[in-house]
Amino acid sequence: MAITSLHAQDFAQDVQKAIAATENGPVFITDRGIPSHVLLSYLEYQRLLALKRSIASNLAMPGNADVEFEVPRANICLRPADFL
């Protein structure tokens, strides 16, 4: 699967090129060099919807290197039960 990257202006000027590129994989549309949108074929979109994946496997997908994800630390304090 090839990942294509197009600047937003290039996408606007040649939408057909971007649509054709979805036959080989996702098309990342960038704004000032930062991915802002992804164009997929409808079949690929349906395939992704059918997958049941964890958040960890989703973050491991190609193109997610810049995603910041920090799990907050849970503060669990044990205390005696109050039955009154």
Q: What is the CATH number of the domain that holds 18?
A: 3.40.1620.10
Residue 17 lies in a domain: yes
H helical segments located in 14-77: 15-21, 42-50, 55-59
In which domain, by residue range, is 20 found? 4-48
Residue 54 lies in a domain: no
How far apart (Å, rounded) are the C-alpha atoms in residues 23 and 20? 6
Interatomic CA distance for residues 61 and 53, integer angstroms:
11
pLDDT for 64 equals: 60
* Residue at 82 is within a domain: no
Count how many domains the chain has. Answer: 1
Using alpha carbons, select from 46, 44, 3, 42 the residue that is nearest to residue 21.
Answer: 3
Answer whether residue 69 is part of any domain.
no
Residues of the chain short of pLDDT 70, as ranges, are 59, 61-69
What pTM was computed for the model? Answer: 0.58
